[in-house]
Structure 1
Amino acid sequence: MGASPDTGNYRIPAAYVLMKLPADMDYVDAGNLVDFVYTPTVAKKEHNSARAGIRAKDFTAVTSVAATIKATFDENTARNIAMFLLATVATNTDGDEIIDPLTSPTLTVDIKLVATNTVGPMIDFEGNVTISPSGDFNLMADNDDFAQIPLSADVNKKDGRYGRFTIRQQA
């Protein structure tokens, strides 16, 4: 990254996501990614001194840290839908894929976001997350929007960290 100020630091993001479910031998592409947001949270406990007439904050302790991810996919594959529904996929004798919702309520996966943008630094992410549905899975709508699969995930502390970001420069 160039030192600021530098217009080379502006970024128009583009990326894809690879997921490794517990039964997978390797990472699998999740298809087109609409958005991907990492949100850290820090819980604090403040202490106030009562030595004077007006209490004044004199110390802040950090009591917990965590992170979440929100992502939206728009390729309605059985694998992506099953992640949203916290389920596994089976195949019947006709070759149809069958999903029984909420059969894997603690679905934990390894995830990699691989940046592919052409403007600005490329920011990759990898981590271990526990998936949760985020919002609704719309089976029918009265508009012409593409159906999307919204997911959220708690980032798990693994190997001493809450995921890892890698910033790559354009070649």
Structure 2
Amino acid sequence: MIETVDAPRRRLLATFLGAPVAVALAGTALAGCSADTRPKAAPGSREALDADVKVRWNAVHGEQVLLALHAATVAAHPGLAERLAPLTAHHDEHLAALREDGPLPFGTRDTAPGADVPADPAAALAAVVEAERAAGEARVTDCLAATGPRLAAMLAAIAAAEAGHGVVLAAA
């Protein structure tokens, strides 16, 4: 909770410390304020919070695996780059959102293990479609395991996007 400083305290502070120091202190105090509306201390039990961190870590790892698959597929089949680029951008956004939601004490790798990409472009695309669908199902499972409504909503949105990716890639 932020405690407000009343006018007499401010005058006393300015008197003893001098106006330049008071201004500097006020500027420093205001610099700590931001538009971030997330609570600094998450509500709920420690067990629930730890469970959500594990769920979020699982989702982070899933996004890293998909990004590695996209990169390997594009490296093996440059003709698929244009088709996969928007979906890869979505996965980058998903990963950023998951990481911004709080610390991940279990560590995160920036890359996932290398993916085996079929030599045939159609088979490679089918592998990406299957991976997208499987990731969508995994995020639904994560969503159901999440105890916090914010995390559950984020995972539901990611699950929907990944399911949509599979449909978009399969349709074209």
Instruction: Tell me the TM-score normalized by structure 1.
Output: 0.21
Greater percentage in strand: 1
Q: Which structure has the larger Rg?
A: 2
Instruction: Give the TM-score normalised by structure 2.
Output: 0.21
